[in-house]
Every structure is written in C-alpha cells, then in structure tokens.
Amino acid sequence: MIQLRHLHKSYQVQGKTIPALTGIDLSIEQGEIYGIIGHSGAGKSTLIRCINLLERPTSGEVIVDGVDLTKLDEGKLQEKRRAIGMIFQHFNLLSSSTVGENVAFPLKLAKRSKAEIDKKVNELLKLVGLEAHKDKYPSQLSGGQKQRVGIARALANDPKVLLCDEATSALDPQTTNSILALLLDINRKLGLTIVLITHEMHVIRSICDRVGVIDGGKIVESGNVLDVFLRPKHPTTQEFVEQVADSTELREAVEHEKASGNRTIARVTFLGEKTYQPILFQTMQETGTVFSILQGTISRMKDTPYGQLVIELEGDVAQNQKTIETLRQRGLEVEVI
C-alpha cells in the first residue's frame, strides 16, 4: 500500500543543509496499523508529512497504492491526496463552523451535491459517536470530541490511508484510550490503512500491528510490535519500552538480589494462551525449585495476551539451568539476566 524508498529530506537553514530524514526505506501493508515512534526532533513528523507530500522529499520515492506521488503534477497530486486522510495533534478545526460543517468541508471542496454531503456527514458523525453534536461549535466540545470531529472530517472522501500526526498527545489518558479504540474500530470496519506517529509506547502497544523506531532521521529498528516490544535491540527502542516496564525498580531489585548471594535471575515471557496457563508453577513443583517473583505483568499487545515475570531461582546452578531448559521446552521464553 505504502512504500518509501531511499527517502531523504533536508532543510536549508542560514545557508546550511540540515538533514531531517536519511535513507528511509519503509513498506506498509494494506489494512494494517503501522506506528512510527521517536523522540522530539527525530524526524517522525517530517516522515509522516512526506507520505502525502505536505513535505516534499529532497530525494527518493513515495509510492501510495502503486503510484509514485513525487512524479505527479499538482492537479493529479491533489486528486491522489483525497485518498489520504490526515488528523492532527491540535485538531485544526474551523472554529467558526459547526461540527457538521467541519466534516462537510472536504466534501464541498470535492463539489459533492448537498444530498450527498448531508448523507455522508450523518454517517460519519454516527461512526465517531457525535450525532448529537452536529450543530455545536468546536469551542463547545471537549478535546476528545474535537479529535473525533477531526477523524470524521479525515474520512469524508473515503480515503484508503489515514495518517495520524500525534493524534492523542494533547489528550488525557482516558480520552487517549477512547480515541485509540475508535481508530482500531475504524480500521476493522473500513479496512483502512493507518499510519500513526507518537512518542508514547502505550499507543504503539495498544493498536499497532508493526512499528518503526526513528532516531536521528533514520529507522533504527522495525518489526512486529510484539517482537520489538518484548525484545528491543536498539538503545532508543529500549528507552521507549522502559516507559511501560518499571525498569528502574527492576534494576534496583536485581542488583539487591545479586548482592545477596549466588542466585539465578531470569525474565520469563508468556505469549498467547500460555499467558493464562500455570506452566511456571507446575514446572517449579516438578523440579523442586524454590523461586520468588521480583516483578510481573500481564497485559495485551493489541489482540495478543502476554505476560512477563522476572523471577529469582534459589538453588544450585545445575538445578536452576535444568528448570530454565524445562520452561523453554514448554514454550516459554526465558532470558537469564
């Protein structure tokens, strides 16, 4: 659906060339939710704005639905942009227009008939749960409601792609979760390809299928969210994972236990239905191993349940190693810390 090939973007600042993106290669499949995560200044906003050519790349290809947008003249580019909706961090609503008028705006630009516009606006407001707010103005809405209007407006021309530029970073946690649930629902109902950028790992973990980590204008790590989240390789990725992993407390606990004697500390990862099975308890009973839990969590990565426990095994090295091998044979991932 979307392919970025050898994408470069530089800016001229006081006579100097400042690179923002360097050699981006990215492929996003039809119907998936792809997240791009990075710190401020990493290049993520520039990257997402290159997808619809709000920022024109210095070099490289931007292929959307089989067409290289960089090769189009302005008229054909405008036509292709109608298939790419976009929502923004600060909503960008027309303050002097009602909710209904905001959603109708792109339809009027596309010269649709009044009957078509009214029908589509009503359908979209129902989809985002704002039927009762059609005649209100943005100043009368909460932040979450404003973003719902932005989503409805972005869907007005039946796009194939929805770009989300920090769409939840101006919202409180509860409202963020409701907007993420709405985006996931839209993705499933409409088969829409969604690309979102964020600096919050919680957002990636909640709804994304795959993720790319951007740092210094480069994609430094990418893959399925489960793989990247549970086995982060790049230091930037590890920083983001620590946002939701209580790593400071874990390090302190590990150091304390290591100082107290010859003990084995391991991280055990459960995926899918194994998350809810008593594999750890049964194995410890069978091997006669005494253990304690230093840290643990059970959660979901989009639709997949997972669990991670950091455990301390008491006993001799040989017995602990045998227990670890048994856990691995039973389908758990075990990493000795």
Burial class (CB in 10 A: 0-12, 13-18, 19+), 316: exposed
Q: Match 């957002």 to its residue by tokens.
A: 203
Whole-angstrom Cα distance, residue 328 to residue 139?
56
Residue pair 48/197 in contact (Cβ under 8 Å)? The answer is: yes
DSSP 112: -
Please report the pLDDT score of residue 241 as a whole number: 86
Over residues 250-300, the pLDDT tens digits come to: 566 556 655 555 578 898 999 989 999 999 999 999 988 889 888 888 888
Question: Could you report the per-residue pLDDT of 125-134, keeping only the tens digit for each?
Answer: 999 999 999 9
The pLDDT of residue 301: 83
What is residue 152's predicted lDDT score, i.e. its pLDDT? Answer: 96
Distances (CA, A) of 178 to 132, 159, 184: 18, 22, 10
- Please state, in angstroms and rounded to a whole number, the distance separating the CA atoms of residues 277 and 306: 11
Tell me the C-alpha distance between 191 and 203, whole Å: 20
Closest-CA residue to 51 (of 18, 86, 75):
86
93 neighbors 148 (Cβ within 8 angstroms) = no
Please report the domains of the chain, with CATH numbers, ordered by start residue: 2-242 (3.40.50.300), 247-336 (3.30.70.260)
- Rounded Cα distance between 61 and 174, Å, is 38
Counting Cα atoms < 13 Å in the Cβ hemisphere of 64 gives 26
The proportion of the chain whose per-residue pLDDT surpasses 70, expressed as a percent, equals 94
Q: Record the tokens describing residue 153, joined without a space.
A: 């407006």
Residue 246 has pLDDT above 60, yes or no: no
| Helix ranges restricted to H, 110-161 | 114-127, 143-154
Sign of the alpha-carbon torsion through 6, 88, 190, 172? positive
**How many residues are given for the chain?**
337
Rg (CA), the chain: 24
Band the pLDDT of 95: cuts 50, 70, 90: very high
Model confidence pLDDT, tens digit, residues 106-117: 999 989 999 999
For the record, the structure tokens of 5 come out as 């090939």
Helix (H) or strand (E) holding 315: none
- Reduced to 3 states (helix: H, G, I; strand: E, B; else coil), residue 219 is strand
